[in-house]
Chain A
């Protein structure tokens, strides 16, 4: 079996496993199958990335030749995102077992089946080279995600899931309308084919409208301010495991789709010229960075605080995109990867606290530093990465973002990036201050350190934050290759 023949299995393994998982009884077997599927998927994605660095791989489903059949077209960009999604799933699942046993005690077979569906959907969106297939997988992952969020213990999870359902459906519909317009104009759904046929039609209003619909639709799934309203509640009330997975992967995949459409399907010299996309994205990204960080400072629920922080971090990624240069895209993709590491570590530390303490409100953190030193230290170190201090992964992405901003003549952005990083310092510090410098309330329940089966995965991710801050060959190398692959189709590079 060649690498090309192996490549779609990083999506197929979780998809098929989900059908089996739905039928498995008890608590051990569903989890074991899910973990095995995620690990296999991650290994296949890693092999695929290694091969895709040399040139795009193409896999025709059912041996129907593209552009008639559905094609998986894997270059450095989507192989990178696919590896990110599957590796995150494989790393957090050992941690998830304990947390899910507490938060979703019954019917775990269907729960893990839904998770596998959401995961397979994200992999499918990433790997496919067919525009309509993107929509189908988007719906698979979104529908599964709504149900997963509704599994939260708090009854407000139902409302959060419903709001996400409404907003997510609007976003997916916008994407579908955009794809429909493109199909109407070109008669093809294959992305490579679309990219070849669209230049002739570049002056038609239909194509412009299609681009606008796709950008807004993906902006919704991406939680780009002001379309972020679904995100804080969804992350806050979902089960801890799902919060970790969504925070680390879902918005990243939406960003990838946005990049794929604006850079590959529409060439950047079209999408950033026909519409004032660079200006709009930059303005919204800055607004997201500032507002997200600002609102995060005032949250009493720490899970919600991290959710607003995610809105701000999405802003950094989109800011990198709006610079429309290889360095800017590298920064965006790099931050995509690094943000997945730091947010997964933070949400896992928080989930561990939720498991031990039963609350993630700021009052519950008082005096916790002495009682759960390992968990809180992990939270602090992941927080350092979020703020962006060396030698963490967060520093690397901020560094690239600042270089890209200076390179494209927007030196004033540096001040904004530094200021919003300071705001991150403030909201992370609030938690640490409560944990180490406040006395616990007198009626606070006795709390002990979390079990090792929760701590070890958290610390693995914290260590990854430092590892990828020091040895940047994998993340910077892959992000650069991915950025070049995205900019690649255009002779002469950036406009």
Chain B
């Protein structure tokens, strides 16, 4: 698949669009259909397409496994901290009104921050799951290669 010229060219053209569309869904989530979950999945799909075409090693140079792992937790933490900010400012958990003076701006800011946390976690979990499966595949390939070598 990596040698196919058509795939490589189209992927190179499409991947930036996928990533951009992911970000679009992310940052328009508070007033139009979308939000962190969908955005995270779309964004991760862009990276997964990249790995399918250019290989896992190159994909992990873009975003190392360790970074994905940390991002997974940081997204949840961002969500929780925004939630706790509401409590600290005298409201309930995930209450955005105390965050800013203008109620509309406060809700908008709160939703964007929380959804960004969701997006980061979902995208990194998707990439992490894919990486683990891809690793397993290459591990099996090595086992098979060894078995073949012994067979001869």
A residues lining the B interface (CB < 8 Å) = 5, 8, 12, 15-16, 18-20, 22-23, 59-63, 113
Contacts and interface: CB of A to CB of B under 8 A. Distances in A.
A61 B77 contact: no
Interface of B: 69-70, 72-74, 76-77, 80, 83-84, 86-87, 91-97
A11 to B, nearest CB: 10
Nearest to B107: A62
B80 A19 contact: yes
Given A16-B80, A62-B86, A23 B73 contact: yes
A23 B70 contact: yes
A63 B83 CA distance: 11
Nearest to A21: B73
Nearest to A8: B93
A60 B77 contact: no
B80 A61 contact: no
Contacts of A22: 69, 72-73
B95 A19 contact: no
B97 A63 contact: yes
A169 B73 CA distance: 25
A15 B96 contact: no
Contact of A60 (B76, B83, B92): B92
B80 A63 contact: no
Given A19-B80, A62-B86, A12 B73 contact: no
A62 B80 contact: no
A59 B92 contact: yes
B9 to A, nearest CB: 40
A5 B92 contact: yes
A484 B119 CA distance: 44
A59 B77 CA distance: 22
Nearest to B95: A63
B76 A19 contact: yes
A19 B93 CA distance: 17
Nearest to A6: B87
A62 B77 contact: no
17 contacts: A16-B80, A19-B73, A19-B74, A19-B76, A19-B80, A20-B73, A22-B72, A60-B92, A61-B92, A61-B93, A62-B86, A62-B94, A63-B91, A63-B92, A63-B95, A63-B97, A113-B73
Lowest 5 A-B CB distances belong to which pairs?
A19-B76, A62-B94, A63-B95, A16-B80, A19-B73
Contacts of B91: 63
B93 A62 contact: yes
Nearest to B84: A16
Given A15-B80, A19-B80, A61 B94 contact: yes
A62 B96 contact: yes
Contacts of B73: 19-20, 22-23, 113
B77 A12 contact: no
B66 to A, nearest CB: 10
Nearest to A16: B80
Contacts of B77: 16, 19-20
Contacts of B92: 5, 59-63
A62 B107 CA distance: 10
A59 B92 CA distance: 8
Nearest to A62: B94
Among A19, A20, A113, chain B packs the most CB atoms within 10 A around the CB of A19
A62 B92 CA distance: 6
A5 B95 CA distance: 12
Contacts of A20: 73, 77
Contacts of A5: 87, 92
Contacts of A59: 92
A62 B95 CA distance: 4
A62 B94 CA distance: 4
B69 to A, nearest CB: 8
A196 B79 CA distance: 34
Most buried by A among B76, B84, B91: B76
A310 to B, nearest CB: 32
A57 B86 CA distance: 20
Nearest to B114: A62
Given A23-B70, A62-B86, A12 B93 contact: yes
Nearest to B117: A19
B127 to A, nearest CB: 16
Contacts of B93: 8, 12, 61-62
A216 to B, nearest CB: 30
Nearest to A22: B73
A22 B78 CA distance: 15
Given A19-B77, A62-B86, A62-B96, 11 more contacts: A8-B93, A12-B93, A16-B77, A19-B76, A19-B80, A20-B73, A59-B92, A60-B92, A62-B92, A62-B95, A63-B92
Nearest to A1: B87
Contacts of A19: 73-74, 76-77, 80
Nearest to B72: A22
Nearest to A24: B73
Nearest to B97: A63
Contacts of B70: 23
Nearest to A113: B73
Contacts of A8: 93
Nearest to B79: A19
Contacts of A12: 80, 83, 93
A263 B1 CA distance: 59
